[in-house]
Structure 1
Amino acid sequence: MLKIWGRTNSNNVKKALWAAEEVGVPYENIAAGGTFGVVSDPAYKAMNPNGLVPTLQDRDLVLWESNTIVRYLAAQYGRDTIWIEDTAARAKAEKWMDWTTSTLITPFRDVFLNMVRTAPDKRDHAAIEKGRQICSDLFGIVDATLESQPYLSGETFGIGDIPLGGFVYAWFEMAIERPDQPHLLAWYQRLQQRPAYQKAVMIPLT
């Protein structure tokens, strides 16, 4: 059986679990990282020398890097679900996967770590506000795109929606001020209707 190592409250692990649920492949989730440890064990480091999560094992194949795992699951098991066959359309969707990792994640982390994983009396409010403003502007780019299409992957849900979809859950669930971005909100509401999203992403923020 396919195995996915990683703690379920990690945004990167959520991508892999969500993708596996969407394509319907049986898998075993093995808790690792954070308080679970494991990632420093020699056996784990032999699979993933970075000592990070997630790591996927599918028979003899071992992969790390969450976006790569999503792409693999889609190509291998999701041809009729989340994979996008047309090369140009797939590239347009995949750019959002990389944009999330390269552009959004740093300012978002400043907000998330302070709001979710830091005691209220120890929060860096300047970092929260700076990150919130940057993220608001970045989500404005997403909102503008979603004005003309229902999903980041185009007319139907696909791989391009998964990386940002995990972050948008936290964005709307954190007790922070957010600008009015109706198309972003409508997209989030569409994601909330997906059983795979409910199972893999919509869990308590920790």
Structure 2
Amino acid sequence: MLALYGKPTSINVRKVLWLCAGLDLPLHHEPAPPPELLAALNPNRQVPVLRDGDFVLWESNSICRYLAARAGREDLLPTTLHERAQVEQWMDWQASDLNSAWRHVFMARVRQHPDYLDDARAEASLAQWNRLMGVLDEQLAATDGYVAGSTFTLADIVLGLSTQRWRGTPGSKPALPHLAAWFERLRQQPGFADHVDNGVA
């Protein structure tokens, strides 16, 4: 059986849990792996970590790609060159540009971490986050469906979690109608209530 290590409040663990719910995939989930085990599995000592027999994989977006391919779910991760590249483009954008934008304001206003209490920097972080969510809104206006086109893919999973975090972080946000309509469509996906809209930012 597959084993997943990492607390279910982690946004990156929740990506994997949501995907597994949609795949109806049996999974042993260990929320609090011993530190020595985590260090042995991942040199970064971070979660999530997936173990499939002797094979170990870390980085949440890579885990999602692996599981979709393992299940033969070409709807989630296409095999045609251009379609797959578009899905992976938005997954990489989530992991790089979008994650970099929200870090300061999220840590300040949700986690209330003492190293992030500069409110001017938090506002600047939120402004950049809002701008990038506007980019996503424009993409959804163009596709009139899901992030990478007319069907639900891994891009929607990773960006759905990021959008939930944006919605749950205090601060002024623009009205983004295409984003809002898309998020309502995501509610129909298996596992959404348990792993996305579950009260955790």
Q: TM-score, normalization: structure 1?
A: 0.89
Following superposition, the deviation at residue 205 of structure 1 comes to 2.4
Q: Aligned to 2:142, what secondary structure does the other structure show?
A: coil
Judging changes above 3 Å, is the alpha-carbon distance between structure 1 residues 54 and 119 closer, same or farther for their aligned structure 2 residues?
A: closer
Instruction: Give the Cα–Cα distance (whole angstroms) in 2 for the partners of residues 84 and 115 of structure 1.
Output: 37
1:93 aligns with 2:93: no
Instruction: Give the Cα–Cα distance (whole angstroms) in 2 for the partners of residues 153 and 78 of structure 1.
Output: 19
Instruction: Provide structure 2 residue ranges, at least 5 long, that are not aligned to the other structure.
Output: none
Provide the residue aligned with 1:177 in structure 2: 172
Q: Aligned to 1:147, what secondary structure does the other structure show?
A: helix
Provide the residue aligned with 1:117 in structure 2: 111
1:57 aligns with 2:34: no
**1:93-117 CA distances to partner (integer Å, 9 max, x unpaired)?**
1101101111111221112111211
User: Which one of 177, 194, 198 corresponds to residue 199 of structure 1?
Assistant: 194
Following superposition, the deviation at residue 23 of structure 1 comes to 1.4
Matching of residues 118-157 of structure 1 within 5 Å: 118=112, 123-149=117-143, 150-157=145-152
Following superposition, the deviation at residue 153 of structure 1 comes to 2.6
Judging changes above 3 Å, is the alpha-carbon distance between structure 1 residues 81 and 93 closer, same or farther for their aligned structure 2 residues?
A: closer
Tell me which amino acid in the other structure corresponds to 2:19: A
Instruction: Give the Cα–Cα distance (whole angstroms) in 2 for the partners of residues 125 and 84 of structure 1.
Output: 42
Provide the residue aligned with 1:4 in structure 2: 4
Instruction: Give the Cα–Cα distance (whole angstroms) in 2 for the partners of residues 31 and 201 of structure 1.
Output: 17
Instruction: Give the Cα–Cα distance (whole angstroms) in 2 for the partners of residues 113 and 179 of structure 1.
Output: 21
Instruction: Give the Cα–Cα distance (whole angstroms) in 1 for the partners of residues 121 and 154 of structure 2.
Output: 31
Whether the 8 Å contact between 1:9 and 1:205 is mirrored in structure 2 is yes
Higher mean alpha-carbon deviation, 13-22 vs 194-203, is at: 194-203
Instruction: Give the Cα–Cα distance (whole angstroms) in 2 for the partners of residues 93 and 131 of structure 1.
Output: 26
Instruction: Give the Cα–Cα distance (whole angstroms) in 1 for the partners of residues 190 and 22 of structure 2.
Output: 8
Judging changes above 3 Å, is the alpha-carbon distance between structure 1 residues 60 and 105 closer, same or farther for their aligned structure 2 residues?
A: same
Q: TM-score, normalization: structure 2?
A: 0.91
1:77 aligns with 2:71: yes
Judging changes above 3 Å, is the alpha-carbon distance between structure 1 residues 159 and 126 closer, same or farther for their aligned structure 2 residues?
A: same
